[in-house]
Amino acid sequence: MLLRPLLSRAKLLGSRPSSSLARLAPLLRSQSRPYSSSVDSSVEPIRGMDLGVAHSKLLLRTVASMRGNMELQAQGVSEGDSKKMNMCQAINDAMRHTLATDDTAVVFGEDVAFGGVFRCSVGLAEEFGNERIFNTPLTEQGIAGFAIGMAAIGHTAVAEIQFADYIFPAFDQIVNEAAKYRYRSGNEFNVGGLTIRAPCAAVGHGGHYHSQSPEAFFAHVPGLKVVVPRSPIQAKGLLLAAIRDPNPTLFFEPKILYRSAVEQVPTDDYVLPLSKAEVVRTGKDVTVVGYGAQMYALENAVQMIERDMPGVTCELIDLRTILPYDADTVAESVTKTGRLVVAHEAPRTQGFAAELAAEIQERCFLRLESPIERVCGLFVPHPLVFERFYMPCAVRCYEAIRRSLAY
């Protein structure tokens, strides 16, 4: 990794690389390392298991699996046309449906008109015009304030914050204006047409300014809804639901899934329910809860547990909506299993897992067989080269599930 800069510097200085530098080249190459999110599949307890999104059974990659989904059946879209889409394309498709069916809808943010840095809005300006799809200055507070104003006069405003890490300058507008607009006017006015999209979470090389998961900051605020999807089908249905919900909604998109998660997505318009968790894998011995990209680490942890502990089955739940969240589904599961493990990428201290653990402890105290386990990011700024140690990976989740079962 160091060789190229050294050679370039020697060239700029007008000299040939020294023989000692040439002798160092093989050593320097041997010291190069992959992105920090890479996994050594030889270590315990992985033992050669295929991990990650590419091998996930949670994704509906075929037409048959898509048509077998009960939520899509209930929406009447499972038998219609479908198309392979990654999560970026599914989000684009959701915004296209919104713009085509709602003349008041506008989409804006930094670089949005040419497609955005992740290309989620590509082609929309050409199709719907620059008066409805437009760029903003680099001012997150201004984007949020402008979006609130648009929603207040009756527009469907879909604003993008380019990275969730930079949503904090807009915190005052979102928390003190958008969330309270209906309440302070006695329901005379509202900004229910407001949706703010933001790419969030780790991507393997984002460091501390392009990797954060700030959902817990906003989950403390009455008047908002907070949603985090795990896949393309989920992203399209939940985003359309968020846009049409009569409350201001924050839609956090795990950016590592933009192109890694691919599903057979219905091309028709459909919505998935907000504030309703999904049981993606049934079980009887322990309840495992997460949301967003964390679902894939939890899926792998569950697979390893069930391989190493024959007869044990784990119930895996995707919360999907963080505020207001579906405590009933989790409590029903924990009443059955007696155990709960919660995981998310954000730091453990004051993280959303603490809220869920407290709620379930109150509801299910007499049914709990072990302490509730939390598996979260470490309480440090999100690191770059040490990201592997920070992340609540499949192995850490596996160890937490084992502790819960062994208690």
pLDDT digits (tens, 9 = 90+) for 208-255: 999 999 999 999 999 999 999 999 999 999 999 999 999 999 999 999
Taking residues 72-92, report their average pLDDT. Answer: 97
The helix/strand/coil state of 189 is coil
Give yes or no for a contact between 111 and 163, defined as CB atoms under 8 angstroms apart.
Answer: no
CB atoms within 10 A of CB 396: 16
32 pLDDT band, cuts 50/70/90, is: very low
Distance of CA 248 to the CA centre of its chain: 18
Selected catalytic residue, list 97, 110, 140, 253: 140
Phi–psi pair at 69, nearest 5 degrees: -75, 125
Q: Strand ranges (DSSP E) for 137-291?
A: 156-160, 194-200, 225-227, 249-254, 262-266, 278-281, 286-290
pTM of the predicted model as reported, rounded to 2 decimal places: 0.90
pLDDT greater than 80 at residue 36: no
Average pLDDT over residues 20-46: 51
Report, as an integer, the average pLDDT of 162-187: 97
The answer to whether 172 and 141 have CB atoms below 8 angstroms apart is yes
pLDDT confidence of residue 4: 39
Distance CA 199, CA 345 (A): 14
Q: How far is CA 369 from the centre of its chain?
A: 30
Q: Which of 287, 309, 307 is nearest to 298 (CA)?
A: 287
Q: Is the pLDDT of residue 28 over 50?
A: no
Mean pLDDT, rounded, for 268-285: 98
DSSP 36-81: TT---TTSTTTTT---SGGG-SSS--SHHHHHT-HHHHHHT-TTS-
- Residue from 321, 176, 306, 167 nearest 234 by CA: 321
Q: Are 325 and 319 in contact (CB under 8 A)?
A: yes
Residue 15 has pLDDT above 80, yes or no: no
pLDDT at 43 over 80: no
DSSP 8-state code for residue 106: E
For residue 37, the SS3 value is: coil
Length of the chain: 407
SS3 content of the chain, % helix, strand, coil (to 5): 40, 15, 40
Contact 224, 323 (CB under 8 A): yes
DSSP H helix total and E strand total for the chain: 17, 14
Distances (CA, A) of 133 to 143, 161, 198: 13, 14, 17
Q: What's the rounded Cα separation, in Å, for the pair 34 and 266?
A: 36
C-alpha span between 33 and 1 (Å, rounded) = 8
Q: What is the predicted pLDDT for the residue at 16? A: 43
Which one from 97, 155, 177, 210 is the annotated catalytic residue?
A: 210
Torsion of CA 87, 167, 348, 44, to 10 degrees: 40
Report the interhelical angle of 294-308 vs 394-406 (nearest 10°): 50
Side-chain half-sphere exposure of 227, counting CA atoms within 13 A: 27
Active site includes 177? no
pLDDT at 37: 47
| Per-residue model confidence (pLDDT) at position 31 | 43
Average pLDDT on 179-188 reads 95
What average pLDDT does range 258-279 have in this prediction? 98
pLDDT mean over 290-296 = 98
Mean pLDDT of the chain, nearest integer: 91
Sign of CA dihedral 316, 231, 351, 306: positive
The per-residue pLDDT for 47 is: 83
Residue (of 127, 22, 51) closest to 307 by Cα position: 51
353 vs 372: CA distance, rounded Å: 10
3-class SS at 225? strand
Q: pLDDT for 103-132, tens place per residue? A: 999 999 999 999 999 999 999 999 999 999
Mean pLDDT of 98-102: 98
Instruction: Give the whole-angstrom CA distance, residue 321 versus residue 379.
Output: 24
Q: Is 140 annotated as catalytic? A: yes
